[in-house]
Amino acid sequence: MNFHVLTLFPEMIIQGLAASIIGRAMEKEIISLEAVNIRDYTINKHKKVDDYTYGGGAGMLMQAQPVYDAWKAVAGKIDEKGGKGRETKVIYVTPQGRTFHQAMAKELAGEEDLIFLCGHYEGVDERVLEEIVTDFVSIGDYVLTGGELPAMVMIDAIARMVPGVLGNRESGETESFSNYLLEYPQYSRPENWMGKKVPEVLLSGDHQKVEEWRLEQSLKKTKELRPELYERWAQENQEYFIRKA
């Protein structure tokens, strides 16, 4: 899978994602990451990419021309590789978008290419957004200074859903949000740490009991910390409570 990021700060993207699991996946060529500097595409002789907003108001806005030309260049390169450049999804990361979640990450992991557009300053001229953007996605209801961190958050979450990126495929399947529930508590060595013991059932070797305990713990944690997720799980798994009664 290939990630293409249109940004004014390409070094942030590369440095932020080149380490650990995602870095290893890049080395193994399971995923690729390209950060394209929008500034390289401006036709302004002073390399300017932003200007004042019509109608007044504080702050500068990223102009349409460099963003559009950067996108065209990336779409053209995808075409050259035999992909579908102009049909590739273009995600504008923006606080005004739909909120990103795990199911979205899993779905987007099925794309061959994805283009991210990172805004800065007051954002991006609406006309180029209308022209190239297919998805408007937010990472939460707060405003950051730029789209680079949101793009990195999304790329990390999507990339780890690409087969082969995680060492053990299972670890992506059973963790938090994969079925609405938060993951159960986990323990590693030693068995006794500062007087706190690992729950007995986890040492029992009884696989079924361990699974039952984990589900109960997941339910308990989700009910306490994310009651709305618990309700969704409970609605879809009513037979669990009938069985338990």
Q: Which residues are annotated as a binding site for S-adenosyl-L-methionine?
A: 119, 139-144
Q: Which is nearer to ligand SAM, 94 or 217 (CB)?
A: 94
Q: What is the dihedral of CA 94, 95, 99, 101, to 10 degrees?
A: 60
- The reply on whether position 98 binds ligand SAM by CB under 6 A is no
If one asks whether residue 8 binds ligand SAM (CB under 6 A), the answer comes out as no
| Nearer residue to ligand SAM within complex by CB, 94 or 222 | 94
Binding mask 104-133 for ligand SAM (x = CB under 6 A): --------------xxx-xxx---------
Least spacing, CB of residue 87 vs ligand SAM, in Å? 23
Residue closer to ligand SAM, measured from CB, 121 or 233: 121
Nearer to ligand SAM, 25 or 74 (CB): 74
Closest distance to ligand SAM from the beta carbon of 201 (Å)? 41
Of 143, 163, 193, 199, which one interacts with ligand SAM (CB under 6 A)? 143
Binding residue count for ligand SAM, defined by CB under 6 A: 20
Question: Could you give the C-alpha distances from 168 to 134, 135, 214, in angstroms and in order?
Answer: 32, 30, 19
Q: In the set 60, 69, 136, 146, which binds ligand SAM (CB under 6 A)?
A: 146
Tokens describing residue 67? 């963003």
Task: Provide the binding-site residues for ligand SAM, judged by CB under 6 A.
Answer: 93-96, 118-120, 122-124, 138-140, 142-147, 150
